[in-house]
């Protein structure tokens, strides 16, 4: 997966900060985001500072040709005391690849990824992180479907209905009991989720479903949590262009599962037992 040339930009940190790993990693995948990434990064870093979180922020540039990297680094410089990392590769590989790249680089025991537009405000972070921190769940993810009163700005009607149809298909084809797999706000217990990164196959928009499917397959405890959300009309997802690709990727997930592609080479006894029972 790491055949691309990766370029890292690491901020020089005071020695006393370098000795302590963050407990939380926040990951933002970004592609051609020069128009809004700087503002989003400043909001996240301000939140980390205000809440006194032991956290790092990782931006993964998915092969942007604009000034996405410059915007991120300029915002980083406003908060020199907070650990940050900028990762870039030349070829556009897809949002899933970018998220996986960020998760691999994460040092925190818990990692959360968020869309670059912060459609779910970063202030919703505790809703996902606390259940993992308390040991109640291993993967938590935001949902727009469980409480639609939390949606401030709705998507256009056609896009919203398309999302409902897609999630119905996901439930039918995968057996997952969730109502919104695509919200770009998810958190992970990295001790349990990191080994699963090695078996992920989907690089683009279907990766959300694959993450949840594989985690469920291996017996991780998943929780769908209602969050605040606002539609951003500058979204990169094109409902017509991307729908067929996403449906094909969901079918590919089923095929991969039947072919044993999601087996770990060295599963723990608990994971192996759960995987076997789920396959039956």
Q: Indicate the burial class of 247 (C-beta count within 10 angstroms; 0-12, 13-18, 19 or more).
A: middle
Which of 3.40.50.720, 3.40.50.880, 3.90.550.10, 1.10.8.100 is the CATH number of 6-279? 3.90.550.10
- In the DSSP assignment, the letter for residue 116 is T
If one compares 157 and 111, the residue with the highest pLDDT of the two is: 111
**Pairwise CA distance, residues 117 & 31, whole Å:** 11
For residue range 105-152, what is the model confidence (pLDDT) as tens digits? 999 999 999 999 999 999 999 999 999 999 999 999 999 988 889 988
pLDDT of the residue at 129: 98
For 39-61, what is the mean pLDDT? 98
Banded pLDDT at 17 (limits 50, 70, 90): very low
Identify the weakest region by mean pLDDT among 23-27, 80-84, 204-208, 214-218. 204-208
The phi-psi region of residue 131 (left if phi > 0; otherwise alpha if psi is between -120 and 50; otherwise beta) is alpha
Banded pLDDT at 7 (limits 50, 70, 90): low
* Domain locations along the chain: 6-279
pLDDT of the residue at 214: 98
In DSSP terms, 8 is beta-bridged to 87
Identify the weakest region by mean pLDDT among 22-31, 43-52, 139-148, 154-163. 154-163
pLDDT of the residue at 222: 98
Task: Specify whether the CB–CB gap between 235 and 163 falls below 8 A.
Answer: no
Q: Is the pLDDT of residue 257 over 50?
A: yes
Tokens encoding 137 = 């769940």
Q: Indicate the burial class of 265 (C-beta count within 10 angstroms; 0-12, 13-18, 19 or more).
A: exposed
pLDDT of the residue at 160: 74
pTM to 2 decimal places: 0.86
Banded pLDDT at 164 (limits 50, 70, 90): confident
């Amino acid at each position: 997966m790491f055949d691309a040339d990766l370029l890292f930009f690491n901020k020089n940190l005071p020695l006393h900060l370098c000795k302590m790993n963050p407990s939380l990693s926040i990951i933002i995948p970004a592609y051609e985001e020069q128009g809004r990434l700087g503002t989003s990064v400043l909001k996240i870093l301000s939140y980390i500072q205000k809440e006194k979180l032991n956290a790092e922020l990782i931006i993964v540039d998915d092969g942007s040709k604009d000034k996405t990297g410059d915007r991120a680094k300029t915002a980083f410089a406003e908060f020199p005391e907070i650990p940050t990392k900028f990762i870039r590769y030349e070829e556009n590989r897809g949002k899933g690849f970018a998220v996986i790249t960020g998760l691999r680089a994460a040092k925190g025991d818990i990692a959360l990824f968020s869309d670059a537009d912060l459609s779910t405000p970063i202030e919703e972070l505790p809703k996902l992180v606390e259940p993992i921190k308390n040991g109640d769940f291993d993967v938590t993810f935001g949902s727009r479907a469980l409480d639609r009163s939390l949606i401030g700005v709705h998507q256009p009607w056609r896009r919203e209905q398309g999302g409902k149809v897609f999630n119905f298909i996901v439930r039918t084809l995968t057996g997952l009991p969730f109502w919104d797999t695509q919200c770009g706000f998810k958190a992970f217990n990295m001790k349990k989720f990191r080994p699963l990164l090695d078996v992920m196959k989907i690089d683009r928009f279907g990766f959300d479903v694959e993450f949840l499917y594989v985690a469920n397959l291996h017996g991780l405890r998943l929780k769908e949590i209602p969050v605040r959300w606002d539609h951003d009309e500058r979204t990169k997802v094109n409902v017509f262009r991307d729908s067929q690709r996403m449906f094909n990727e969901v079918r590919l997930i089923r095929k991969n599962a039947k072919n044993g592609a999601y087996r770990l080479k060295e599963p723990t006894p608990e994971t192996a037992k759960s995987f076997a029972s789920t396959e039956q």
